[in-house]
């Protein structure tokens, strides 16, 4: 059963570009699942499936992190600090 309401709510928020961007990754994940679930599992198939899902999730995480960082950056480059300090180091 597919619930469209959460998707509709997300698509009406400021997160719409991210939701649209990640919908392709979700579809790719579904495409990875279907063949795996309809064949006899073997250690090789399990390892390959795990690698594909891991890569997909890393890409989704990277896209989400990029969205957050771009949101935090000032629109005007002159407003950005010239140096950043972390744990006492520049």
50, 73, 88, 89 from 69: Cα distances, Å: 28, 6, 22, 21
Q: Flag whether 89 is in a domain.
A: no
Q: Flag whether 68 is in a domain.
A: yes
Q: Flag whether 42 is in a domain.
A: yes
Q: Flag whether 48 is in a domain.
A: yes
Secondary structure of 16-81 in the HEC alphabet? Answer: HHHHHHHHHHHHHHHHHHHHHHCCCCCHHHHHHHHHHHHHHHHHHHHHHHHHHHHHHCCCCHHHCC
> Which pLDDT score is estimated for 5?
65
Domain residues for the domain of 28 are 15-72
> Which pLDDT score is estimated for 10?
60
Q: Flag whether 33 is in a domain.
A: yes
Are 70 and 21 in contact by the 8 Å Cβ rule? The answer is no
Angle between helices 43-72 and 16-37 (to 10 degrees): 180
Confidence category of residue 11, pLDDT binned at 50, 70, 90: low
Q: Flag whether 2 is in a domain.
A: no
What is the DSSP secondary structure assignment for residue 86, as one 8-state letter?
B
pLDDT in tens, 54-84: 999 999 999 889 888 888 888 888 887 888 8
> Which pLDDT score is estimated for 35?
86
The pLDDT > 70 percentage for the chain reads 84
- What is the tally of structural domains in the chain? 1
pLDDT in tens, 22-63: 888 888 888 888 888 898 989 999 999 999 999 999 999 998
Q: Flag whether 21 is in a domain.
A: yes
Q: Flag whether 8 is in a domain.
A: no
């Amino acid at each position: 059963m597919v619930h469209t309401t959460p998707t509709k709510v997300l698509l009406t928020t400021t997160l719409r570009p991210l939701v649209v961007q990640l919908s392709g990754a979700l579809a790719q994940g579904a495409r990875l699942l279907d063949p795996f679930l309809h064949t006899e599992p073997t250690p090789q198939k399990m390892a390959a499936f795990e690698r594909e899902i891991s890569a997909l999730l890393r890409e989704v995480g990277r896209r989400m992190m990029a969205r957050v960082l771009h949101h935090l950056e000032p629109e005007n480059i002159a407003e950005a600090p010239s140096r950043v300090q972390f744990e006492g180091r520049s």
